[in-house]
Amino acid sequence: MVGPVITWLAPELRGPGVPEVMEAMALSEGRIRGRVVLLKTAVTALMISAGGSLGREGPIVQIGSSIGSTITSLFHLSTEQRRLAVACGAAAGIAATFQAPMAGTLFVVEILLFDLEVVSLSNIVIAAVTGTLISRPFLHEISIFTIPEFSLNHSAELGLYLGLGLMAGFLSLLLMLAVFSLPRLYERLRVPAWLTPACGGLLVGCVGLVMPRALGVGYESINDALAGDLSLSLVLFILFWKLLATGFSLGSGMSGGIFAPSLVLGAMLGSCVGYLAQVIWPEQAIFPAYYALIGMGAVVSGTTLAPITAILTIFELTYSYQVILPLMVACIASLLVVRFFHGYSIYETKLHLRGVHIVRGHDVNLLRSMWVADYMDREFQTIAEGTKLSEVIAQVERSLFPHFLVLDTGGLLTGILTLRDLKGIMAHPEQLQSDMCAADFMSRDLVTVNEHDDMERVFHLFAEHPYTLMPVVRAN
């Protein structure tokens, strides 16, 4: 039923929903079709109720964003108002789902809306609080999680939480590999796009025969882990099969989110670490449920690269300040692992595989049609590499430029001299020599571009290197 709908009626329904909102914000001025509201709701409900290993948080972001976009289109509001309404809808959806208005607000700030003004933030906060208040009468008797009373028993446990965060980072990478490997297999086998959700359903059903707990959202398993009712062997089985089921579900294009599966995987990983810690450190009172709670935040941080959202989500579930420090350690460790080995969130990865490169809410693809020659600064100051130190200082005092390009006798670039270089040598006057020249203390570690390069290359070079300027040289 779902395959034809997401192939022909609304292709943007395929997958979590958050990448599609990111793409709409960057490329379409926040325009999202109104049909997404009803179709995304119906398709996601079908997928999750049928047992797909998916979450409802990603879809509610897309549904809320679509409502915001549709309302602004009906009233012919401006582009900025539309983008803000999309962000407000997303924040309200997340806040209503978890009864966590702060997490809903920070999710939008970290993932969707980077160029934020104070006025915009206040609107988003109001939307998140309103969503929470409206949903509370309907959800107040439905407790998503049964949270244990958290406490940090010993400061040395922070080392264990650090290890948990590192493992959560690698688990996040493994989850992304599982999700994005299956589409390549479908492509190789030439499986029609409308048939892939059915294939995924068959695979997930097979997993469910072996491990029924791998089906659906999985909050029951989280609650059992938080209550300490799962054995180590069962936790390991759930971790393995849930990873496979999530990869099959999202990799097949089913409509559903990654947030809930990340929470389940994090809870299982944390429980494993807690049980192992009990064996390694038997004299210390260690509760695997605490590690399950921290693991939930750590895996969410690794998959979404939104650590503040992950921290606040868990905090708003517990309202315990003792959870903050372990959460910060684990979430940042997970983030750093994914940043180092991959560099992108699961949302950004999906867009990149489609050829859409979005960085901080902006489309980097536009830079491919912009050339260095059109944007480079043609006013600069040079200095010969043989210039004596005293003359260098005199030129710096007279110059309005904070840096000098150092040239050899043939007029070729050999280095760059900045105020930081001068401050470095002036801080140690005892090492100064009268015959020192610019070549003795200039920076030779240069990254250059030529005038025919596009600005996308420049953008990535600046992202990879800690430089604030980049010399432009001829192609030869």
Could you report the per-residue pLDDT of 286-299, keeping only the tens digit for each?
A: 889 999 999 999 99
Average pLDDT over residues 81-110: 91
Of 320, 335, 362, which marks where a domain is finished? Answer: 362
pLDDT at 70: 94
Does residue 181 lie in a domain region? Answer: yes
Residue 258 lies in a domain: yes
Place of tokens 């062997």: 233
Pair 327, 413 in one domain: no
Residue showing tokens 């401050």: 423
On the question of pLDDT at 141 being above 60, the answer is no
**DSSP string for residues in 230-259:** S-HHHHHHHHHHHHHHHHHHHHTT-B-BSH
- Boundary (domain end) residue, out of 139, 171, 200: 139
Residue 443 burial by CB count (10 A; 0-12/13-18/19+): exposed, middle or buried?
middle
Q: What is the pLDDT of residue 297?
A: 96
pLDDT confidence of residue 386: 87
312-351 b/e with 16+ CB inside 10 Å = b?
bbbbbbbebeebbebbbbbbbbbbbbbeeebebbbbbbbb
374: Cβ contacts below 8 Å, ≥ 6 apart: none
Q: What is the mean pLDDT of the chain?
A: 88
Look at residue 115 in the predicted model and tell me its pLDDT.
64
Task: Clarify whether residues 352 and 430 are in a common domain.
Answer: no
Total domains in the chain come to: 3
pLDDT tens by residue, 206-223: 999 999 999 999 999 999
Provide the pLDDT for residue 208.
94
375 and 400 housed in the same domain: yes
Does 101 map to a domain? yes
Closest CA to 54 of 2, 127, 106, 95: 2
Cα 98 to Cα 79, 104, 408: the distances in Å are 29, 8, 63
Are residues 236 and 356 located together in one domain of the fold?
yes
Judgement on whether residues 407 and 351 belong to the same structural domain of the protein:
no
Predicted local distance difference test score (pLDDT) of residue 359 = 66
Task: Provide mean pLDDT across the span 448-468.
Answer: 86
Q: What is the pLDDT of residues 170-179, one digit of tens each?
A: 999 999 999 9
Q: Residue ranges of the alpha helices (H) in 190-323?
A: 196-210, 219-226, 232-251, 259-280, 288-304, 307-318
What is the rounded CA–CA span in Å between residue 406 and residue 413? 6
126-148: average pLDDT: 81
| 134 and 71 inside one domain | yes
For residue 431, pLDDT beyond 70: no
Assign 3-state DSSP to the chain and report helix, strand, coil percentages, each to 5.
Answer: 65, 5, 25
What's the domain range around 245? 157-362
- Encode pLDDT of 331-380 as tens digits: 999 999 999 999 889 999 998 888 777 765 566 667 777 889 898 988 88
Note whether residue 148 is domain-resident: no
Q: Higher-confidence residue: 141 or 50?
A: 50
CATH number, domain containing residue 272: 1.10.3080.10
Residues 471 and 465: their CA atoms lie apart, in Å, by 13
Same domain, 110 and 221: no
Place of tokens 């294009």: 253
Q: What is the largest CA-CA distance in the chain?
A: 82
User: What would the mean pLDDT of 14-36 be, rounded to a whole number?
Assistant: 87
* From 39-53, 133-147, 251-265, the region with the lowest mean pLDDT: 133-147
Q: How far apart are CA 439 and CA 385, in angstroms?
A: 5
